[in-house]
Amino acid sequence: MLALVVALQAPPAAAAPDTAAVTAIRAGMVIDGTGAAPLKNAVILIKGERIAAIGANVPIPPGAGVIDLSGFTVLPGFIDAHVHLASRTLGDGDWQHAGLTMMPAELALLGAAHAQQTLEAGFTTVRDVGSVHYGDIALRNAITAGWVPGPRIVAAGILFGITGGHCDETDGLAPGVLGHEAGIEEGVADGVDAVRAAVRTMVKNGADVIKICATGGVLSLTDSVGAQQYSEEEMRAVVETARGLARRVAAHAHGTEGIKAAVRAGVTSIEHGTLLDSEAVALMVQHGTWLVPTLMAGDQAMQLVNAGRLPAPIAAKARAIVPRVQSSFRLALRAGVKIALGTDAGVFQHGKNAHEFTLMVRYGMTPMQSIQAGTLSAATLLGREADVGSLAAGKYADIVAVKGDPLQDITALEHVDFVMKGGAVFKRDGQIVGRSDAGVP
Ligand SMILES: [Zn+2]
C-alpha cells in the first residue's frame, strides 16, 4: 500500500527526476551477440529495464548495485525461434490430439510451466510457432502482464494448413467426429479465400506472426512427409495478406518442392528445411529467406523411434528423413543462407533448448556462428532486433551468464548460472530468485 501512496503523490512524469535504480554487472568476458570479438573485464550498466552503457572503461556510478559476474562469460539472453509452449510434449499423454482432449485452460497452465523452464535455461525471447486454442497468445499476455514468469513471446496463435495436412488437428480421427468440418479452430484453411480469412482471424486474435504448414510433417499420422501441401498460390495469398497487416510468415517445410514454393511465395522463414537441395538454398539466398533448422527435433524423434515410443507411420517417416537433417544444414551453411536458432521445443522437454547450439557446432558452425544464430540473428528474424538479441545500450537488459568459455566448449551454454530479463534477476548462482508473483495485481 505504501508504494501505491508514494506513486499517487509523485510529481508528473515529465518533471520527475531520473531516479531509476542503476545496476552494474562486472563481466569476466562478454560475447555481445553481434559476432564481435569477446570483450574482457567489461561493465554493463542497467537502468530500469534497459542497458544504459557497456564497455571495458565504463565507470560504475556511486550507489549503483553491483552484480559480480567477473568469473563468468556474459551473453545476451538466448532466443529460440521455434517452440511450442502451450502444447503437450511429444510422447507425453495424448500429445497428438491434446487440443481435442484437454481443456484450453489446462494447456495454458502447462504452457506457463514450460515458459518458466525456458527462461531458466537462459532463453529470454522465443517465437512460439503455434498452438491450439491460442494458448501461446494467452501465455504471452500473461507474461507481459507479469502474472507468470517466462520469456518474451512472439506468438503465432493457431498454426494452419490444408485439410488432412500436418497442421490439421483432426488428422487420424474418424470422419465426422467433430460434428462439423474441421476449420481454422482445428488448423485447417483450404483455398485462397480461406487462407486470407485465416490470416486475418489470427491477427484479429493477437498473432504476432503467421505459421503455416507448407508440406507434410513427421509427427502427423496420415500425411506424406515430403509432399507439398499448400499450393504456391495459397502461400502467396498468405504472405500478401500477412504483409498487408505487418506480419511475417513462418512455413513448416520438409519436402524440397514445398520449400521452393514457399520461398518463391515470399515466406520469411523455412522451419526445419529437412530436404534441401542446391536449387532450394540458392533460392533462399536470393530471396533472403531464413532457415530455422530445428536440429534437436530430428535428434529427439530418432531417440523416441529407437525406444519404440512413436506410432509406426510416424517412426517410418522419421527414419526416412532425419538422416537428411545434417547434410541439408551443411548445404545451407555453405551457401550462406541466413540461419536462426530454433529447436521445436515441445518435441523434447522444454528447458533443454541450449543443446541446439551444441548440435549446430557439431554439424559445422563455429561456436561464434551458433551464438549469433541464437541471439542477434534470431532477433532479426523476429523483427525484434531493436530491443533484444545483443548487448548494446538501449536494448532490454536480457542477460545470461555461464561458467567457462563457450567459444572453446559450446556445451557451456547448456548450463546457465545467471538470467536477467528486462533488468530483473530471475536466476542467480543457478537458483531461481525471481518472484513468480511480482506482477500479479
Ligand atoms: Zn514445430
Q: 402-435 pLDDT, tens per residue? A: 999 999 999 999 999 999 999 999 999 999 998 7
40-60 b/e with 16+ CB inside 10 Å = b? Answer: eebbbbbbeebbbbbeeeeee
C-alpha of residue 82 to centroid of ligand 1, in Å: 6
197 CA distance to ligand 1 middle (Å): 23
- 21 alpha carbon to ligand 1 midpoint, in Å? 40
Q: What is the pLDDT of residue 2?
A: 40
Catalytic residue among 211, 395, 421, 427: 211
Looking at 171, 344, 398, 417, which residue is catalytic?
A: 344
Residue 344 falls in the annotated catalytic set: yes
Give pLDDT, residue 439.
67
Question: pLDDT below 50 — which residues of the chain?
Answer: 1-17
pLDDT of residue 441: 79
| Rounded distance from Cα 157 to ligand 1 centre (Å) | 13
C-alpha cell read off for 286 = 536470393
pLDDT of 155 reads 98
CA separation for the pair 205, 158 (Å, rounded)? 10
Q: What is the dihedral of CA 414, 415, 419, 421, to 10 degrees?
A: 10
C-alpha cell at 274: 529437412
Catalytic residue at 208? no
Spell out the residues 6+ positions from residue 132 whose beta carbon is closer than 8 angstroms to its own.
86, 87, 98, 99, 104, 107, 158, 169, 186, 187
Residue 297: how many other CB atoms lie within 10 Å:
27
pLDDT at position 8 is: 41
Give 184-238 as a DSSP string.
GGGTB--HHHHHHHHHHHHHHTT-SEEEEE-B--SSSSSS-TTSB-S-HHHHHHH
pLDDT (0 to 100) of residue 24: 98
In this prediction, residue 97 carries a pLDDT of 85
DSSP state of 240: H
Q: What's the 391 CA to ligand 1 centre distance in angstroms?
A: 28
Q: Evaluate whether 52 touches 22 at the Cβ level (below 8 Å).
A: yes
**What is the Å distance from ligand 1's center to 127 Cα?**
10
Task: Show the cell assigned to 232.
Answer: 504456391
Q: Residue 19's pLDDT is what?
A: 57
pLDDT at 10: 40
Q: Is 279 exposed, middle or buried (0-12, 13-18, 19+ CB in 10 A)?
A: exposed
Q: Distance between CA 9 and CA 12 in Å, rounded? A: 9
The residues near 200 (Cβ < 8 Å, ≥ 6 apart) are 241, 245
Distance 129 CA to ligand 1 centre (A): 6
